[in-house]
């Protein structure tokens, strides 16, 4: 089975029917700002009940680094990449990158949203999360 690392962050569509995953965000009906993760009230103007929006990209890479030591509780592989990606809606999202070599990435390059496996849990489930990767990269492991 596939289980999400956290519910409510992203969609994990069946690749056979709908190949484009999306991040679950919010758009403020007052100021128009887009927020991720989804919120109950706008963090810019405090307007409540922003409308739900799906954010799918592709985005633009702003900054990145590699994590070489596993954070507490993390059970996946190291090193792995982490970066800031700006989506077309204007929101910047911090996320895992499919590329762990910082030298292989460049400012402003397009990044596609993907769903990747982090690790297998004690019940044998594949724990998945969202990640960004160059469009030309091969499928994430
Ligand atoms: Zn607002």
Q: pLDDT tens digits, residue range 21-30?
A: 999 999 999 9
Establish if 138 belongs to a structural domain: no
Helix (H) or strand (E) holding 113: strand 110-120
> What is the C-alpha to C-alpha distance for residues 73 and 116, in angstroms, rounded to an integer?
18
Q: Count of domains in the chain?
A: 1
Residue 80 has pLDDT above 70, yes or no: yes
| pLDDT at residue 137, as a whole number | 46
Report the distance separating Cα 80 and Cα 98, nearest Å. Answer: 7
Query: What one-character DSSP code corresponds to residue 88?
Result: T
> Around Cβ 83, how many Cβ atoms within 10 Å?
23
Q: In the chain, what percentage of residues exceed pLDDT 90?
A: 84
State the distance from the centre of ligand 1 to the C-alpha of 36, rounded, in angstroms. Answer: 13
| Cα 120 to averaged position of ligand 1 atoms, centre (Å) | 39
Q: Which residue has the higher pLDDT, 137 or 109?
A: 109
Domain hosting 113: range is: 2-133
Is 18 a member of any domain? yes
How many A from CA of 50 to the centre of ligand 1?
8
pLDDT bracket for residue 140 (50, 70, 90): low
In a domain? residue 30: yes
Does 96 fall in a domain?
Answer: yes
Residue 141, domain member (yes or no): no
> Per-residue pLDDT tens for 17-52?
777 899 999 999 999 999 999 999 999 999 999 999
């Amino acid at each position: 089975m596939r289980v999400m690392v956290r519910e409510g962050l992203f969609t994990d569509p069946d690749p056979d029917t709908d190949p484009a995953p999306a991040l679950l965000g919010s758009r403020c009906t007052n100021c128009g700002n887009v927020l991720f993760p989804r919120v109950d009230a706008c963090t810019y103007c405090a307007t409540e009940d922003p409308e739900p929006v799906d954010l799918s990209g592709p985005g633009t890479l702003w900054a990145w680094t590699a994590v070489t030591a596993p954070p507490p509780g993390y059970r996946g592989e190291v090193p792995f990449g982490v970066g800031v990606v700006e989506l077309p809606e204007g929101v910047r999202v911090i996320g895992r990158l499919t590329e762990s070599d910082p030298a292989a990435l460049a400012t402003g390059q397009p990044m596609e949203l993907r769903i990747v496996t982090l690790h297998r849990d004690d019940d044998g489930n594949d724990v998945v999360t969202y990640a960004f990767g160059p469009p030309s990269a091969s499928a994430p492991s």
